[in-house]
Chains A and B, each alone.
Chain A
């Protein structure tokens, strides 16, 4: 036995191999984190898709004056950032699993993006996107600027839930909880759902608003309607 062999054996004499479960746990932790963050990314993507689809691109000039100002004010940047951040965390975890290095970086990212987009569309289709509407106004400033944009009666924009329908007017509780009487005599009213309405018009008093256009607050996305109907049945 050489001197080096002896030194090596002396060094390991009092050591024990680390238990196998610790390595297995690390690998399971990486896989679970990768999957969890992939799902988080898909949730964020679903909200992003919902907000992009429901964004009022056709009214961009009326709302912000020009397309780019509207884009900056209303684009759901936060959900895009969350989607990318969760995607990267998921990618990092996958990359550090036992055999994660065997897949090309670009292939792994592409695969993750595909899964997130697919799940994002599926979640959005089954109504997950809609849940973003349940957050309060304070949080909306960050997570759903659309509500903030449409709570500007002085500027001619109002949104909320219809509480009562009369012949020439509707009663509305806006997303900030304030009650309004909306004059719809000369307005073009598009059929809407219980999600709420958005109204273009002019503020005529403290609690009164004359509508030019009454539109549904959100668009129904793919299977969302059927899914809700099935749920209610």
Chain B
């Protein structure tokens, strides 16, 4: 089935179509497979075939549970939540310690987080990019997960709250603590140089 002609159709509208006819499910797969594959890579240390298996299971769960999707929620939040849960299930299945993969941020990410932390100056002139990445990978996983959603997946507070199933106040706290920890580590690193 071609997905042309559905570019302007919202996810929520596509969900309604899928519930009538399974063939429309490919639209959701196409829209989210890359994003979710990248998200799985960011929040886990599974290898590529394992990540693909997880992704397949995510889409199967999405399809089977499609009737539980509540349109008060953004579809993207819902599908990210299912993905995160599936990753956690796989940590349990393989009895592997949950471990967030090394963040490999791009320039945009560095610019975004730099401006958030008021550290553009340090980032641009003092500390080189690789070292910032190292520092980023040293922070607490709990905060790192929220920072990934905020600065890499570009989700807002409400979406992060819906994905992680935590109150917005807690999201804000984690982001602030994560930023604080990151800022401290960057400054500490900067002094050592």
Contact = CB atoms under 8 A, between A and B. Distances in A.
Interface in B69-115: 70, 72
A15 B167 contact: no
Interface stretch (B26-34, B148-156, B178-186): B26-34
Interface stretch (A28-36, A51-59, A73-81, A100-108): A100-108
A8 B67 contact: no
A18 B64 contact: yes
Interface in B25-72: 25-26, 29-30, 33, 52, 55-56, 59-60, 63-68, 70, 72
A14 B193 CA distance: 60
A7 interface: yes
A5 interface: yes
Interface residues of B, number: 27
A-side interface mostly: helix
A5 B60 contact: no
B170 A104 contact: yes
Contacts of A22: 67
B67 A5 contact: no
A5 B30 contact: yes
A9 B26 contact: yes
B56 A104 contact: no
Contacts of A101: 161, 165-167
Given A11-B56, A11-B60, A103-B167, A1 B67 contact: no
A177 interface: no
B67 A15 contact: no
A98 B70 CA distance: 9
B26 A102 contact: no
A102 B59 contact: no
B26 A15 contact: no
Interface in B154-176: 161, 165-170
A16 B170 CA distance: 36
Give the residue among A12, A15, A22, A98 with the most B Cβ atoms within 10 A.
A12
Contacts of B161: 101-102
B167 A23 contact: no
Given A102-B167, A104-B170, A17 B29 contact: no
A87 B170 CA distance: 23
B19 interface: yes
Nearest to B19: A17
A4 interface: yes
A8 B29 contact: yes
Contacts of B67: 17-20, 22-23
A15 B60 contact: yes
A88 B12 CA distance: 36
B168 A102 contact: yes
5 contacts: A7-B56, A12-B25, A12-B64, A16-B64, A17-B63
Interface of B: 19, 22, 25-26, 29-30, 33, 52, 55-56, 59-60, 63-68, 70, 72, 161, 165-170
Given A9-B26, A17-B64, A104-B170, 18 more contacts: A5-B26, A5-B30, A5-B33, A8-B29, A8-B56, A8-B60, A9-B29, A11-B56, A11-B60, A12-B59, A12-B60, A12-B64, A15-B63, A18-B64, A19-B67, A20-B68, A102-B168, A104-B169
